[in-house]
Amino acid sequence: MVGTEAELEVGNVGHGGFCVGRLDGRVVFVRHSLPGERVRVRITEGGTGDRFLRADAVEVLVASPHRVEPPCPYAGPGRCGGCDWQHASLPHQRELKAAVVREQLDRLAGLDVEGLVVEPVEGTGADDGLGWRTRVEFAVTAEGRAGLRRHRSHEVEVVDDCLIATRPVIDSGVLATSWDGCSGVDVVDASGLEEAVLVPLHADGTAGADPTALELVGFEDWEHGFEVSARGFWQVHPGAAATFLAEVVELLDPVEGEHALDLYCGVGLFAAGLSDAVGESGHVLAVEADAKAVDHALDNLAEHANVEVRQGRVDAVLGQAARGGIRADVVVLDPPRSGAGRRVMGQITQLGPRAVAYVACDPSALARDLAVAEELGYLLTDLRAFDAFPMTSHVECIALLEPAGEAADAEVDEDAEGDEDAEGDEDAEGDEDEETARRAP
């Protein structure tokens, strides 16, 4: 059916940057559309025997009042796949993301967070959704031109600008340089560097020199510098790290002398904040599997004598630590997109912390883990969502979990205003698509 065109009515937003419609009784995931629109679609994936189809809206017959002209000329059907919602006003983008989070938590965890809103991350991009992405991996064509991949494709859209990237990323010259012999190039605009750095990714699978970048994080009267590999993980929005750290510390409210866990600690962002909060009489155990990130964490936390950094899988380290009699008053859980999983959630709850702050980049993984936590006696008592990725479908959530006995009278604040296994991520996405198709109106 690929290439077939038809008219249809667009329904609710789905998890993944599309809206849901029906064609002859079959579910269709429609990109470049908005709820309530009537559009002409072109099928991009699927056949007569498939449970659902994917399509692009190639013509808008009845437009949503929230539709705008995409600011980027490369956004649209068959073009760059880096953004999902450039055709929606920024406030409506956040409404769509909030709807996705609410639906996922309701369906997968039975949780009602009806009043949830998605809040902007203050700073660059908060008002127009542009100029915020500090880390971009560009793909390279066979001719050596840099660009961005099209949606669900290996094809490269050659571009001369990327409006969601920071200007230092573009001013690095990455899009004007010939990258013969490369499959891609990473560009990193770290807050502690004067210029963006470029790391070529060679066609033979090797990479160029991977320099250490310096990221500076500060909020209120707290500030810290973090070394991180240019190709390592760091939040791509310049205001995200400080926003998330401040929110986690506020939710957990650590006090002097407490014991804390920072799981999937990366280069030590949350561990540093926890360390200062629990003081010299407290203790922080930071756990990370990636060896290079651990090296940076050891350097970043060298002056924090109350922090212990351990390398290894979180479940393995937690099992060993539990046998050694570890205690935990508060926990920060910042897993990869696939989530923490039942085993890790079980290990955390067995330690009996008074509070767990869960930082989630995928609402479906968060919902699955929250459902497990409730089975094990921990309830969701607070939830905030942040738009750290404007123009895309991604949303960051920070959830507070507390023991059921202490949280029985607590409710999620309805007035709030606003990567261990990539294969596992793909499987989860496939499962999500199937479930969305089954539940589509």
d(CA 269, CA 277): 13
Which neighbouring-strand residues pair with 5?
Answer: 42
* Residue 369 annotated as binding site: no
* Residue 264 annotated as binding site: yes
* Residue 334 annotated as binding site: yes
* Torsion-angle region of 59 (φ positive above 0: left; ψ -120 to 50: alpha; else: beta): beta
Pick the closest to residue 241 from 211, 212, 210, 272 (CA basis). Answer: 272
* Residue 227 annotated as binding site: no
Half-sphere exposure of 58 (CA within 13 A, CB side): 13
Pick the closest to residue 97 from 175, 35, 14 (CA basis). Answer: 14
* Spatial contact of 229 and 212, defined as CB atoms under 8 Å apart: yes
Query: 361 catalytic, yes or no?
Result: yes
Q: Which residue has the tokens 């959830």?
A: 399
Half-sphere exposure of 346 (CA within 13 A, CB side): 6
- 72, 162, 265, 361: which is the annotated catalytic residue? 361
Q: How many residues does the chain have?
A: 441
Pick the closest to residue 258 from 351, 383, 377, 360 (CA basis). Answer: 351
Q: Return binding residues.
A: 235, 264, 288, 334
Catalytic residue numbers read 361
Q: Return binding residues for S-adenosyl-L-methionine.
A: 235, 264, 288, 334
